[in-house]
Amino acid sequence: MMCNKEYIDRAEQVILHTYNRFQIVLEKGQGVRLYDVEGKEYLDFAAGIAVFALGYNHPEYSKTLKEQIDKIIHTSNLYYNVPMTEAAEKLVKATGLSKVFFTNSGTEAIEGAIKVARKYAYLKDGSTDHEIIAMNHSFHGRSLGALSVTGNPHYQEPFKPLIGGIRFAQFNDLESVKAQITEKTCAVIMETVQGEGGIYPATEEFLQGVRKLCDEKDILLVLDEIQCGMGRTGSMFACQSYGVQPDVMTCAKALGCGVPVGAFVLNEKTANASLVPGDHGTTYGGNPLACAAVSKVFDIFEQEHILEHVQKITPYLEEKLDELVDKYEFITARRGKGLMQGLVLEGKPVGDVVNKALENGLLVISAGGNVLRLVPPLVITEKDVDEMIEKLEKSL
């Protein structure tokens, strides 16, 4: 068996260096733990960036994928397939929306949502100069369209010109959104809980205010629930705890719990007045393997009462994190919702803490420059929280 360093050296010869990866080679997982090629165990509070909601090697999930592989993996969208229909039915029911388009990633879901907004507006007045309002410090993906609505110049600068007609407002500041609205505005896009930007949940007043604004002016509200959706905040989608329903919702990450899949979901109004055959497509989107995963994920969420578990474990995690805020001067705040939590570090580089945690067998990640981000599998127990705190304190 080769060691971590030997695999890393091989990878660096052939993989384009667009990530500064941690110096471990992960080989397998079980429950909320991962193991590298040298057999070292890690408690995982990153979940593949909020993807592995059900933990690793879930027997029922794995069995479903193996059975689907023996049937059929790909058909293309020239034909129907059974798992796509079943997955779409469950996603429609979970969101309360109307129609689904399956993609291969969250970024692709954002691209689709942008096209939906522009087509909706185009059908209303025939013009092609519509504008979208996005939020500062947001993150929606790395493709040119998704980058265009990502409110962080650092990500955008080398790739300009991006798509035009994007204005930026301040998250959780309703007046700043109002100030950006013109007669050309066709959509407002935002994360219900900003992830990469530093774990900022929307305030109720803000989200409900933007919804009202969109209703008054027939502007589409697009909510990005890619990271904060699928039970992470304690409701199936974060916006549901605010009593707000978007016109378009994007989801991915935990939607497939490891299999690459995303989706954008539209309400009836938007579905009936936007994309038609020929407007949008994908070769792999909605493939039987990915959709079998999506369908089974919804089943397991129900059978194992995942939402109730998140609601039950959240206060315990928050209490333990708040104790760290009280104990350490350089931890100035805790922010978050459900099992999407951030600790704000002042005067201590978050990267150093993440690396030290790795040495101590704990996987955590960062956000927004100075925030330690905790997005564990949704199946963690109080015992896992205690172990995480112990390893984190050692790292701090």
Residues with a known catalytic role: 139, 224, 253
Q: Helix or strand or coil: residue 57?
A: coil
**How far is the C-alpha of 347 from the C-alpha of 329, rounded, in Å?**
10
- CA dihedral for 201, 206, 207, 210, sign (positive or negative): negative
Give the residue among 283, 252, 250, 314 at the shortest CA–CA distance from 97.
Answer: 250
Round to whole Å and give the CA distance between 322 and 165. 42
Cα gap 248→153, rounded to integer Å: 25
Cα radius of gyration (the chain): 21
Residue among 87, 378, 358, 96 at smallest CA distance from 228: 378
For residue 142, what are its two tokens? Answer: 């790395």
Residue 4 vs residues 27, 34, 140: alpha-carbon distances, Å: 10, 14, 32
Beginning with the edge strand found earlier in the chain, give each strand of the sheet holding 26-30 in spatial order: 26-30, 33-36, 41-44, 362-363
Nearest to 390 by CA among 315, 324, 344: 324
Q: How far apart are CA 94 and CA 301, in angstroms?
A: 11
Find, among 114, 86, 118, 84, the residue nearest to 101 by Cα. Answer: 84
